[in-house]
Amino acid sequence: MKSVKAVIFDFNGTLFWDNAENEEAWSQTAKHFRGFGLTKEEFHLNNGKSDREACLFILGKEAKEEALLQCEVYKEEYYKKLCLERKLTLAKGAYEYFNKLLDCNLKLAIASSAPKINMDWYIPHFHLFDYFKSENIIAGRTDIKGKPEPDIFLLTAKTLGVDIENCIIFEDSVAGLKAARSSGCAKVIAINSTGADVKNTSLLADFSISDFTDSKLKEYFL
């Protein structure tokens, strides 16, 4: 394995186990705008993609900008309401793992398909600036191709000043794992969070973990 200098985390479903809330919010959004909710297959097909891509899937590729914006806002408001009502926290062991990585002088970053409005809420709510520099939290980018393309990981490595082959990436979705694998990073680690759509990770990840206290992580910087 290449010398590791940085660790890149996806956020939703990786650091923040909100798959159930995301699925419920997207299904409610689909029901509101097209009259019926998302099937499990439709949700997994769109998991890891941007809000704009998911709303285009729900409304159709000919949807106008105003309708797409309404779809995006509706979904995120419903989603945040669920997260607050259920008092969700970061994944087990996440904060402790951040500290261990920083103690090893590794750089940390987040590469997320989440819209900027959500990341602006996550940052203070979960005290992310205690562990991540603002320029190394990448989210809400509409100027690059979304996952499963590797663009967001390549951009994130650039913000860290580290070659992608010197980065480890944590992901939970099929689209995210494919993006990580094709980026050329040193290692891809899948996290089998609650509701994750990746169970057989042998072709997409080097190994999988149950959460950030998993003993497999002791091989890496612990």
Residue ending a domain, choose from 31, 53, 85: 85
Are 99 and 164 found together in one domain?
A: yes
Are 29 and 10 found together in one domain?
A: no
Give me the domain span that covers residue 130: 6-17+90-219
Are 180 and 104 found together in one domain?
A: yes
Are 109 and 195 found together in one domain?
A: yes
- The reply to whether 53 falls in a domain is yes
C-beta neighbour count of 42 within 10 angstroms: 16
- The reply to whether 166 falls in a domain is yes
pLDDT, one tens digit per residue, over 48-63 is: 788 898 999 999 999 9
Are 81 and 119 found together in one domain?
A: no
Total residues found in the chain within this entry: 222
pLDDT, one tens digit per residue, over 127-178 is: 999 999 999 999 988 899 988 999 999 999 999 999 999 999 999 988 899 9
* Cα distances (Å, whole numbers) of residue 174 to 11, 178, 196, 199, 205: 14, 6, 9, 10, 10
- The reply to whether 192 falls in a domain is yes
b (16+ CB within 10 A) / e for 129-163:
eebbeeebbbbbbeeeebbbebbbbbbbbebbebb
pLDDT, one tens digit per residue, over 83-92 is: 999 999 999 9
Judge contact between 102 and 57, C-beta under 8 A. Answer: no
CATH number of the domain encompassing residue 206? 3.40.50.1000
How confident is the model at residue 205, as a pLDDT? 92
pLDDT of 44 higher than 90: no
Residue ending a domain, choose from 34, 67, 85: 85
CA dist 168 and 180 (Å) reads 9
Half-sphere exposure at residue 20, Cβ-oriented, CA atoms within 13 angstroms = 8
Are 187 and 211 found together in one domain?
A: yes
Are 74 and 101 found together in one domain?
A: no
Are 104 and 79 found together in one domain?
A: no
Instruction: Look up residue 49 and give its amino acid.
Output: K
CA dist 40 and 167 (Å) reads 32
Per cent of the chain over pLDDT 90 is 75
Judge contact between 110 and 15, C-beta under 8 A. Answer: yes
Which residue, chain included where needed, has tokens 């709303």? Answer: 55
Are 42 and 140 found together in one domain?
A: no
pLDDT, one tens digit per residue, over 194-203 is: 666 555 566 7
How confident is the model at residue 182, as a pLDDT? 97
- The reply to whether 1 falls in a domain is no
* Cα distances (Å, whole numbers) of residue 36 to 33, 58, 67, 71: 8, 10, 17, 14
b (16+ CB within 10 A) / e for 16-26:
bbbbebbbbbb
What are the backbone angles phi and psi of residue 8, rounded to the nearest 5°?
Answer: -115, 130
Are 191 and 167 found together in one domain?
A: yes
Are 23 and 65 found together in one domain?
A: yes
What are the backbone angles phi and psi of residue 169, rounded to the nearest 5°?
Answer: -120, 130
Residue ending a domain, choose from 85, 112, 135: 85
Are 24 and 11 found together in one domain?
A: no
How confident is the model at residue 102, as a pLDDT? 96
- Which two tokens mark 119? 């990341």
